[in-house]
């Protein structure tokens, strides 16, 4: 199951990429759980429609700094990068951190240099749409005007634009994994890191379940929402109910914070909930797209 971010449009072009990502992940399952998670997120990172990889928002200085992570539930192994620059697929770098280093998180210049040593060439991750959004916001700020844009994208709130983090959860043969990637929040301070590379905040995977979150990163970090979902599922609560409870808790604890969560447990049960305007999700179950599945909106 993959999501494109809270408040992301459910227009056909967005849903088509999400379906492509979920099918790519399913095809990669023959190689392993992490392969499936990585391949699904790579599709989203490669699309300019989503706030990850090539479609990432710009920070205050007009640069792209990205966060990504990947986690396998049975082993508890976790790998992440934070504030990485100029790479096409941060989630792939995060996986190499997990598999080829004794660390769990590399940040900033160190993360970028690590990617170069592993064969990731320098790329410009700034899409034309995000550059234009940054220029508009900067011009309005110079005039003393408010941006009138989405916190996450720099685009008008009613536009067909992505919000925050993209992510996926994977189940196969009683095991689970999760992965996530994001460009962060629009006009953020250089070096700002969100919830995506923090285990238990933006993503989490254990022997019980895998969860991937999206929304304002600071709120998810302060509430450790992904780990909270895991604690509920561990108690026997269905993933759907766990996702709903976590969204309600997030809003209560952090002043109406907006977000979305997808979850799958080690029994193959799944759920998704959000309190945003939209939260498009694509689900592949038993090798087929489940077009009937709709995330539950919490008012």
pLDDT digits (tens, 9 = 90+) for 60-100: 999 999 999 999 999 999 999 999 999 999 999 999 999 99
Q: What is the mean pLDDT of the chain?
A: 93
Q: Which of 50, 87, 49 is nearest to 66 (CA)?
A: 87
The Cα 59–Cα 192 span in angstroms is: 9
Confidence of residue 6 (pLDDT cuts 50, 70, 90): very high
Q: pLDDT of 17-68, one tens digit each?
A: 999 999 999 999 999 999 999 999 999 999 999 999 999 999 999 999 999 9
The Cα 70–Cα 135 span in angstroms is: 33
Please report, to the nearest 10 degrees, the dihedral formed by the alpha carbons of residues 78, 99, 4, 272 taken in order: -40
User: Is 165 noted as a catalytic residue in this protein?
Assistant: yes
CA 200 vs. chain centroid, Å, equals 13
Question: Which CATH topology does 2-297 take?
Answer: 3.60.20
| Residue 13 confidence (pLDDT) | 95
Do the Cβ atoms of 221 and 194 come closer than 8 Å? Answer: yes
Render 204-259 in DSSP notation, one character per residue.
EE-SSEEEEEEE-HHHHHHHTHHHHHHHHHHTT--HHHHHHHHHHHHHHHTTT--E
Do the Cβ atoms of 170 and 33 come closer than 8 Å? Answer: yes
Annotated catalytic residue within 112, 149, 165, 223: 165
């Amino acid at each position: 199951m993959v999501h494109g971010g809270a408040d992301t449009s459910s227009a056909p072009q967005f849903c088509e990429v999400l379906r492509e990502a979920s099918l790519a992940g399913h095809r990669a399952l023959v190689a392993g759980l992490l392969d499936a998670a990585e391949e699904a997120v790579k599709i989203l990172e490669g699309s300019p429609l989503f706030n990850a990889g090539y479609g990432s928002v710009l920070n205050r200085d007009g640069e792209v700094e990205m966060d990504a992570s990947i986690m396998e539930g049975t082993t508890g192994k976790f790998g992440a990068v934070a504030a990485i620059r100029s790479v096409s697929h941060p989630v792939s770098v995060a996986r190499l951190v997990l598999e080829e280093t004794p660390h769990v998180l590399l940040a900033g210049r160190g993360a970028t240099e690590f990617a170069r040593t592993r064969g990731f060439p320098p790329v410009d991750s700034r899409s034309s749409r995000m550059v234009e959004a940054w220029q508009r916001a900067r011009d309005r700020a110079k005039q003393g005007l408010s941006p009138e844009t989405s916190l996450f994208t720099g685009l008008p709130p009613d536009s067909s634009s992505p919000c925050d983090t993209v992510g996926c959860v994977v189940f196969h043969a009683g095991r689970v994994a999760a992965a996530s990637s994001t460009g962060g929040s629009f006009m953020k301070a250089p070096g700002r890191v969100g919830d995506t590379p923090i285990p238990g905040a933006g993503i989490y995977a254990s022997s019980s379940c895998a969860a991937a979150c999206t929304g304002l990163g600071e709120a998810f970090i302060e509430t450790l929402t992904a780990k909270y979902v895991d604690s509920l599922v561990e108690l026997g609560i269905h993933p759907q109910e766990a996702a709903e409870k976590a969204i309600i808790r997030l809003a209560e604890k952090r002043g109406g914070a907006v977000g979305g969560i997808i979850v799958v447990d080690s029994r193959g049960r799944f759920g998704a909930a959000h309190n945003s305007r939209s939260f498009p999700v694509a689900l592949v179950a038993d090798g087929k797209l489940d077009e009937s599945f709709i995330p539950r909106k919490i008012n």
